[in-house]
């Protein structure tokens, strides 16, 4: 089944402000060598989707640098392939779009000119493995107008602002609420939608004519009775990155073998990313590493325990790194002590510095910082 993929790269920037001041949420580094956009693109490509548009509003230079022409995802094509949409003006006034619906309206012409029967709309603030071919089959077999992916279970804080709904025995959504209550058992929307392209075109036309503003309220919630809207439960791994606490927690979860295997262990569902030609990691004579994820190109002279090191990180002599995430090209001097610390790209920590946070509030050093 041919489908068109549309990814929202900026929608959730405000939820994790520290990491999105100079990048989109889609280009947040994750898991030692990936970006969050890698999981969304890989899910689509593994399902045969070869026409993908990415909506970008601001701070998208790092996203463009990471994606390039799309060749690392086999999306560098003459027809279709990867398209990054710059921030078009609001259709009402001369401003940038501020919502998911306004973003879709800004590319309405692009959607109309495509030939695919289905459209996949998805956010880009989670690490997950999803088989969209199964969902396409579900959508067609049910004769659905819209299929919404959801998680069933106790509502955690990270999903309280997501729409939740009640389904009948056939999986059709009969009632919805725009917010969830923490602690209750819910079917929480994870902001991935499959719908017919011509239906989407009609909904966007209606939204323009009636001045609608909200995708969830005006296009989904208000059409539950008039459209066949079904829910599809996602039971696999879903690491929702919407706060610094969750960012730290879910990166650390990759040190657990089961979580790592669930995300990266399926040979038929690979996660693709930008290829960077780096030398293998070099371990010094006194280096010590325990239960850590070390990317290529690192140089380790000290001790690393329960930590994640991205590409090109350098650990000085006598330095001890515990329970920390050091992003690309971070350099530590000698005799440094780090515990519950997150460093962004190109951070330099000079000799004999001691920095410490906690599991709930890790100590964060922004991009290009020197301390």
pLDDT digits (tens, 9 = 90+) for 228-287: 999 999 999 999 998 899 999 999 999 999 999 999 988 889 999 998 878 899 999 999
Q: Which among 91, 63, 69, 94 is positioned nearest to 82, based on CA atoms?
A: 69
- Return d(Cα 158, Cα 197) in angstroms, integer: 30
Model pLDDT, residue 94 = 59
Q: Which domains does the chain have, with CATH numbers?
A: 3-264 (3.90.550.10), 282-365 (2.160.10.10)
- Return d(Cα 146, Cα 10) in angstroms, integer: 23
Residue 6's φ and ψ, nearest 5 degrees, are -130, 120
Contacts of 238 (CB under 8 A, 6+ apart): 126, 127, 128, 151, 190
- Return d(Cα 110, Cα 302) in angstroms, integer: 53
Torsion of CA 298, 301, 303, 307, to 10 degrees: -10
Confidence of residue 183 (pLDDT cuts 50, 70, 90): confident
Output the average pLDDT for the chain: 91
3-state secondary structure of 203: helix
Confidence of residue 211 (pLDDT cuts 50, 70, 90): confident
Model pLDDT, residue 213 = 85
- Return d(Cα 49, Cα 33) in angstroms, integer: 23
3-state secondary structure of 277: coil
- Return d(Cα 292, Cα 325) in angstroms, integer: 10
Contact call for residues 290 and 305 (beta carbons, < 8 A): yes
Which tens digit of pLDDT belongs to each residue from 97-138?
Answer: 778 898 899 899 999 999 999 999 999 999 999 999 999 999
Q: Which long-range contacts (CB under 8 A, 24 or more apart) does 257-261 make?
A: none
């Amino acid at each position: 089944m041919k489908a068109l993929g549309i990814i929202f790269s900026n929608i959730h920037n405000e939820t994790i402000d520290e990491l999105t001041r100079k990048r989109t949420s889609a280009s947040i580094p994750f898991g030692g060598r990936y970006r969050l956009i890698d999981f969304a693109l890989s899910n689509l490509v593994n399902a045969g989707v070869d026409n993908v548009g990415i909506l970008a509003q601001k701070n998208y230079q790092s996203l463009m640098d990471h994606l390039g022409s799309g060749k690392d995802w086999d999306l560098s094509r003459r027809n279709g392939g990867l398209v990054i949409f710059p921030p078009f003006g609001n259709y009402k006034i001369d401003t940038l779009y501020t919502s998911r619906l306004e973003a879709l309206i800004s590319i309405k012409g692009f959607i109309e000119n495509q030939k695919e029967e289905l459209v996949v709309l998805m956010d880009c603030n989670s690490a997950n493995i999803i088989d969209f071919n199964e969902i396409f089959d579900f959508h067609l077999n049910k004769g659905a107008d819209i299929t919404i992916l959801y998680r069933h279970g106790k509502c955690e804080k990270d999903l309280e602002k997501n729409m939740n709904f009640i389904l009948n025995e056939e999986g059709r959504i009969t009632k919805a609420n725009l917010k969830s209550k923490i602690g209750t058992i819910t079917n929480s929307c994870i902001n991935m939608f499959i719908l017919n392209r011509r239906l989407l075109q009609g909904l966007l036309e209606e939204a323009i004519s009636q001045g609608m503003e909200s995708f969830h309220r005006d296009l989904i919630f208000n059409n539950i009775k008039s459209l066949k809207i079904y829910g599809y439960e996602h039971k696999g791994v879903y690491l929702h990155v919407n706060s610094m606490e969750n960012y730290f927690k879910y990166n650390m979860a990759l040190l657990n073998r089961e979580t790592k295997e669930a995300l990266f262990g399926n040979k038929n569902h690979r996660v693709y990313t930008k290829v960077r030609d780096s030398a293998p990691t070099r371990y010094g004579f006194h280096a010590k590493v325990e239960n850590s994820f070390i990317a290529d190109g690192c140089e380790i002279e000290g001790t690393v325990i329960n930590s994640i090191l991205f590409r090109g990180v350098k650990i000085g002599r006598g330095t001890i790194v515990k329970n920390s995430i050091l992003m690309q090209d971070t350099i530590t001097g000698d005799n440094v002590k780090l515990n519950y610390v997150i460093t962004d790209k190109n951070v330099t920590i000079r000799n004999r510095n001691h920095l410490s946070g906690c599991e709930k509030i890790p100590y964060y050093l922004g991009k290009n910082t020197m301390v």
